[in-house]
Amino acid sequence: MWTGLNPYVDVPTRSPESLVILTVRPRAVVHLGLVALIGICSLTGCTKEELPLPTQPVTGKVTLDSKPLGGAEIWLVPADSNDKVKNAKMTVRPYAKTKVDGTFIINSYLTDDGAPLGEYRVMVVVEGGQANTQEEREDDMPAAPKPKGKRRPAIPAKYSDPTTSGLTFTVKEGPNELVLELKSK
């Protein structure tokens, strides 16, 4: 018989009629389990895709009107056919900064590690990039004072856009060399 008192504790307890029984539907449990599984897979990665993507060494040289182009940035933008790099879980933006003699070594994840295999469109910009629209120029921070001396040659605007540069490159297995011969006119 229910007395309302717990014999072990001098505290009145609730009657059985006041207890609420929760029922869980089996379908809800399955849905919750699937949601949890999808969440875990997205965090840990249930695919066999390697992160980061393996890279191949890429070195090169840039000239402008047959003269070495120092102080420029080289960017490799994945071509439309390069789905593995374009759709990678970790963003890959292979780039390099040219030395005074125009030479460079491409970096993707680490210094001088190269670029993942595949086809790329190439763009060349002034070191530090350049604002292309009036809105971007207004948002830019003021440039640091440049040292006086020899002025860097202006890179034609067409090379600063991968869709208009006309420059392409395919990274293959083993060492790769990218030679860019730019023209000012």
CA 175 to chain centre: 23
Residue pLDDT, tens place only, 130-179: 544 334 434 444 444 455 555 556 899 999 999 999 999 999 999 999 99
DSSP class of residue 32 equals: H
What are the φ and ψ backbone dihedral angles of 75, each rounded to 5 degrees?
Answer: -120, 130
DSSP class of residue 104 equals: E
Q: Is the N-terminal amide bond of 52 cis, ω within 30° of 0?
A: yes
The residue to which tokens 């890959």 are assigned: 92
Residue pLDDT, tens place only, 24-60: 566 665 556 666 656 665 555 555 555 689 999 999 9
Query: How far is 165 from 86, CA to CA, in rounded Å?
Result: 19
What are the φ and ψ backbone dihedral angles of 26, each rounded to 5 degrees?
Answer: -60, -35
pLDDT surpassing 80 at residue 182 = yes
Query: How far is 20 from 171, CA to CA, in rounded Å?
Result: 66
CA-based Rg of the chain, rounded to a whole angstrom? Answer: 30
Host H or E run for residue 61: strand 58-64
Section 121-127 average pLDDT: 93
Structural domain boundaries in the chain: 55-130+153-182
* Architecture of the domain made up of 55-130+153-182: Sandwich (2.60)
Residue pLDDT, tens place only, 88-117: 777 788 999 999 999 999 999 999 999 999
Residue pLDDT, tens place only, 57-86: 999 999 999 999 999 999 999 998 888 888
Burial of 152: CB neighbours in 10 Å, binned 0-12, 13-18, 19+: middle
Query: How far is 87 from 47, CA to CA, in rounded Å?
Result: 13
Give this prediction's pTM. Answer: 0.62
